[in-house]
Amino acid sequence: MHGATRAVAYLMLVGGPYNLVTGVLMKLGQPLAELIALGVTSLGLVIMGVICWWRPKALPRQFWSAVSFLAAAVVTGLNLATEDATTGAQLFYLWPLLYAASFLSRRNTIVTVLAISAGNALVTFKYLDVTRAVNDWAAMTVAMAMTAWVVLNLNHRNDKLRTVLQEQATSDALTGVANRRAFDQALQPAVRSAANGDDPASLVVVDVDHFKQINDTWGHAAGDRALRAVADALRSAAAGTDHLVARLGGDEFAVLLRSGPKDAFRYAERARSALAATEGLPGGPPKLSIGIGTTPHHATCAEELQRVADAALYQAKDGGRGRTAVAGTPPPQTVEQVPVPTAS
């Protein structure tokens, strides 16, 4: 939208003064009604340019989709009003064409090319002889169509490249899940939404138990396979839910779920079961220690949610690893921790 609004503003702010100079000041002596119409049009273009520059939100969203057709109509009207069928005047059709090809859909661009072709035909066949009009109209239509095709294909390639770069910037190369950057970008909005009364946001933090031992015993290749197995288990367990699985670094994963603590706990156990069913790993599938914190149940901001989820993770580790702990749940007491009653 920013690029579109600026493009329209540039056209209006340049086209208005240009039309005033070439259509009014340089043609003084022409019929007064024609000069007034061109002057008013020039002023209108400048006013629209100022609005597009300073207050683009004041215009309805549909305007930005229709502006290429409106611009083609304005160019056609000005060429008819000035009785100008020269190639230079027709080249102003390039602006609505480039705008449509750069900011609108392929279908809108095709319709814009047809509108330009029709507008050019109105001007050329009105002021030129038939043979020259046919030649000029055909040449302009073909040139506009080829220009649209080139710009659309360049934009398509740029879109694909941008998608690849975005995936590379937000995904973990080893496991294919999101990376810390993508996780950090998603956490704040999810927590804010949950704190404002939308669906709860649960943060599930996961550590692979004794991961260093896997690397030391079976090698880093086996460790990488174990990490990919963990990522696959976390993704498969979250299928059908609103979630984000991320690898934060090393053997640490995080899963953002739009659910309450009970559903998050059930998710953690599904992931643990999915991982336990994995075959082909040296030494068998690793075990997971998992901590869960939920907004608004346990925290009201992203920093606090991460803190309580990490605390629950350490609680799971202290409890013997290979288990899930939920924030705010007292740790299970061992026999040694049960207070011995004292004689009064």
By annotation, the residues acting in catalysis are 251
Burial class (CB in 10 A: 0-12, 13-18, 19+), 137: buried
Instruction: Find, among 223, 232, 317, 320, the residue nearest to 273 by Cα.
Output: 232
Beta bridge partners of 295: 201
Strands across the sheet containing 252-257: 243-249, 252-257, 201-208, 288-295, 324-326
Residue ranges of the alpha helices (H) in 219-301?
220-237, 261-276
For residue 227, give both structure tokens: 């990490």
**Phi, psi angles (nearest 5°) of residue 202:** -105, 135
23 φψ region: left (φ > 0), alpha (ψ -120 to 50), beta (else): alpha
DSSP label of 327 = T
Tell me how far CA of residue 94 lies from CA of 64, 87, 127, 158, 315, in angstroms: 17, 12, 21, 21, 66
Contacts of 341 (CB under 8 A, 6+ apart): none
Which candidate, 83, 86, 316, 332, places its Cα nearest to that of 209? 316
Residues whose CB falls within 8 Å of the CB of residue 39, separated by 6 or more in sequence, listed in order: 20, 24
Going by the DSSP 8-state scheme, the letter that residue 336 receives in this structure is G
| Position 226, amino acid | A
Question: Alpha-carbon distance 99 to 6, whole Å?
Answer: 11
Rounded to whole angstroms, the maximal C-alpha distance in the chain is 119
